[in-house]
């Protein structure tokens, strides 16, 4: 999946300490300054953007650990 | 995952715990409270039962108790001395971090056998001045130089720091890491220095000696836990802490209810035809205590099942975090409610400091529960997490 959309949302809502363009798809977002409060904003924006609803089983730190992990979950939900 | 002790052996162990509780811990509780001193005799008695390594799996030389069994020990200790029970619970949280997260670190495996043989006491320095109580952020950072590292942390509280054999400290992984990119490191006595910055003259839990210190030390890189602190927190420290804390609080509450029962019984003996006016309150407070215990049992069962299933991702589920937080905030309120109700039953005798029915220490300890990791902070955090949580149908 093209991660540009995710990166744009992350730049707007992630409040990261590292610029999004410096992150790899696999970089740990929690190590890049992602907080639980910022995770809420990120999740709500992702739901809006992709017109999805994360199920409870996907609502964990694991899902929001990296751009790659977010993309994987979204791909599953969009299908 | 851990439980390997037979029920009959566990029952025998609990008898021993209650024995040292009555003969040693309760005997020293008032002095520990009055002097705000470390309960040395009580911890020695606990060590004599090899309880410092109770949660270490039997395959590693420990007792192999389950989370629920450790919680039972904490509750039992809470009957006799809140500070002793709190110190034991805090130590056990660190033991859980170790036994769940040593991975294949030869250093930590070797340390665990030392813990078993020497019955060492482990303290913890998680909060930091300038952070505002958020365990998932650090200012201080580990500085690695070859095979060794140095670390200095300004900790507003390190419970029983001066009496601990080892201290686990959280810090940023390295100088340029983000505040949330944390590791946990272990210092042994002799490797660190403590510069006092604040004392511990408090209302309750006075024997925990939770003074503030600048801790600075040097160790070998083997003493840095291999796993990220974020994982250790969500999988072990957070759920384990709230379960054992709630358990020891329920022990303090249960002791208050026991006193209330004794009071009512004595009153009833005096005049069996006219039951005391506060008898009805005994029924009421007993039901609140049962609620508290049931909450703990449900959380403990869920956590035990997750440990058994071994699905590491499950621990970071926001719903699980919310439920564990709810256990903490509700238990911290219930202990105040229960001890307060017991005081209404026992009357002025429980208000006195010099009465065998005194509940002074109980009520002072009880008010600490909501403040250690402040309930309001937890509820604010939960209100955030709840935006991301859905009940599935």
CATH 2.40.110.10 domain residues, chain B: 123-223
Nearest C-alpha of chain A: how many angstroms from B313?
6
Task: Enumerate residues 6+ apart whose C-beta is below 8 A from B237.
Answer: B93, B96, B97, B126, B135
Q: How far apart (Å, rounded) are the C-alpha atoms in residues A79 and B106? A: 45
Q: Which of A40, A77, A32 is nearest to B387 (CA)?
A: A40
Q: Which of B294, B278, B148, B168 is nearest to B233 (CA)?
A: B168
Q: What is the pLDDT along chain B (393 residues), one digit of tens a residue?
A: 445 688 899 999 999 999 999 999 999 999 999 999 999 999 999 999 999 999 999 999 999 999 999 999 999 999 999 999 999 999 999 999 999 999 989 999 999 999 999 999 999 999 999 998 889 899 999 999 999 999 999 999 999 999 999 999 999 999 999 898 999 999 999 999 999 999 999 999 999 999 999 999 999 999 999 999 999 999 999 999 999 999 999 999 999 999 999 999 998 888 878 878 888 999 999 999 999 999 999 999 999 999 999 988 899 999 999 999 999 999 999 999 999 999 999 999 999 999 999 999 999 999 999 999 999 999 998 998 888 877 766
Contact B181 A55 (CB under 8 A): no
Q: How far apart (Å, rounded) are the C-alpha atoms in residues B307 and A56? A: 20
Determine the CATH number of domain B123-223: 2.40.110.10
pLDDT band at A64 (very low <50, low <70, confident <90, very high): very high
- Angle (CA) B79-B82-B83 rounded to 5° is 145
Task: Enumerate residues 6+ apart whose C-beta is below 8 A from B34.
Answer: none
Contact B181 A60 (CB under 8 A): no
Residue A24 sits in which domain range? 4-78
Closest CB from A18, A40, A59 relative to B319: A59
Determine the CATH number of domain B229-386: 1.20.140.10
Q: Which two tokens stand for residue B171?
A: 């810090």
Q: For position B393, what pLDDT does the model report? A: 65
CATH 1.20.140.10 domain residues, chain B: 229-386
Cβ-Cβ contacts under 8 Å between A and B: the total is: 65
Nearest C-alpha of chain B: how many angstroms from A52?
13
Q: For position B1, what pLDDT does the model report? A: 45
Q: How far apart (Å, rounded) are the C-alpha atoms in residues B364 and B342? A: 14
CB B261 within 8 A of CB B278: no
Q: Which two tokens stand for residue B5?
A: 């002790």
Q: Which two tokens stand for residue B362?
A: 């109980």
Q: Which of B302, B314, B392 is nearest to A54 (CA)?
A: B392
CATH 1.10.540.10 domain residues, chain B: 7-120
Number of compact structural domains in chain A? 1
DSSP single-letter state for residue B37: -
Q: How far apart (Å, rounded) are the C-alpha atoms in residues B200 and B202? A: 6
- Chain A residue numbers with beta carbons less than 8 Å from the beta carbon of B177 are 31
ipTM of the complex: 0.80
Q: Mutate which of B131, B175, B318 to test chain A, going by most A C-beta atoms within 10 A?
A: B318
Residues in chain B whose beta carbon is closer than 8 A to a beta carbon of chain A? 136, 173, 177-181, 228, 230, 234, 313-314, 316-319, 381, 384-385, 387-392
Determine the CATH number of domain B7-120: 1.10.540.10
Q: Of how many residues is chain B composed?
A: 393
Q: For position B276, what pLDDT does the model report? A: 83
- Chain A residue numbers with beta carbons less than 8 Å from the beta carbon of B390 are 53-56, 59
Which residue in chain A has the smallest CA separation from B322?
A: A60
- Chain A residue numbers with beta carbons less than 8 Å from the beta carbon of B389 are 56, 59
């Amino acid at each position: 999946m093209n991660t540009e959309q995710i990166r744009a949302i992350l730049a707007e809502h992630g409040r990261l300490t590292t610029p999004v363009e410096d992150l790899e798809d696999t970089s740990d977002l929690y190590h890049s300054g992602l907080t639980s409060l910022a995770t809420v904003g990120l999740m709500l924006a992702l739901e809006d953007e992709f017109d999805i609803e994360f199920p409870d089983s996907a609502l964990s730190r694991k899902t929001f650990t990296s751009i790659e992990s977010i993309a994987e979950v979204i791909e599953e939900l969009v299908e | 995952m851990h439980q390997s002790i037979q029920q009959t052996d566990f029952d025998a162990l609990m008898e021993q715990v209650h024995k040292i509780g009555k003969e040693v811990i309760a005997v020293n509780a008032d002095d520990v409270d009055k002097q705000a001193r470390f309960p040395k005799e009580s911890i020695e008695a606990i060590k004599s039962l090899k309880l410092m390594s109770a949660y270490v799996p039997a395959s590693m030389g420990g007792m192999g108790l389950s989370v629920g069994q450790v919680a039972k020990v904490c509750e039992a200790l809470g009957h006799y001395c809140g500070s002793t029970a709190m110190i034991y619970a805090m130590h056990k949280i660190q033991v859980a971090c170790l036994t769940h997260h040593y991975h294949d670190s030869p250093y930590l495996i070797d340390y665990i056998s030392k813990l078993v043989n020497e019955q060492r006491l482990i303290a913890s320095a998680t909060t930091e001045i300038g952070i505002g109580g958020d365990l998932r952020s650090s200012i201080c950072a580990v500085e690695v130089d070859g095979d060794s590292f140095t670390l200095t942390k300004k900790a507003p509280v390190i419970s029983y720091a001066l009496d601990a054999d080892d201290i686990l400290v959280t810090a940023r992984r390295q100088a340029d890491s983000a505040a949330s990119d944390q590791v946990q490191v272990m210092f042994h006595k002799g490797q660190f220095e403590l510069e006092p910055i604040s004392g511990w003259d408090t209302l309750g839990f006075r024997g925990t000696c939770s003074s503030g210190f600048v801790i600075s030390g040097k160790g070998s890189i083997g003493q840095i836990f291999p796993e990220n602190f974020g994982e250790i927190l969500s999988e072990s420290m957070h759920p384990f802490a709230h379960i054992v804390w709630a358990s020891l609080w329920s022990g303090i509450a249960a002791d208050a209810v026991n006193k209330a029962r004794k009071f009512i019984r004595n009153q009833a003996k005096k005049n069996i035809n006219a039951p005391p006016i506060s008898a009805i309150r005994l029924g009421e407070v007993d039901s609140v205590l049962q609620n508290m215990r049931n909450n703990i049992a449900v959380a403990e069962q869920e956590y035990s099942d997750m440990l058994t299933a071994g699905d590491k991702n499950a621990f970071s589920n926001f719903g699980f975090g919310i439920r564990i937080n709810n256990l903490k905030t509700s238990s911290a309120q219930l202990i105040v409610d229960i001890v307060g109700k017991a005081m209404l039953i026992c009357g002025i005798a429980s208000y006195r400091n010099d009465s065998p029915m005194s509940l002074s220490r109980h009520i002072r300890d009880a008010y600490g529960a909501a403040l250690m990791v402040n309930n309001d902070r937890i509820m604010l955090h939960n209100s955030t997490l709840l935006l991301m949580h859905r009940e599935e149908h």
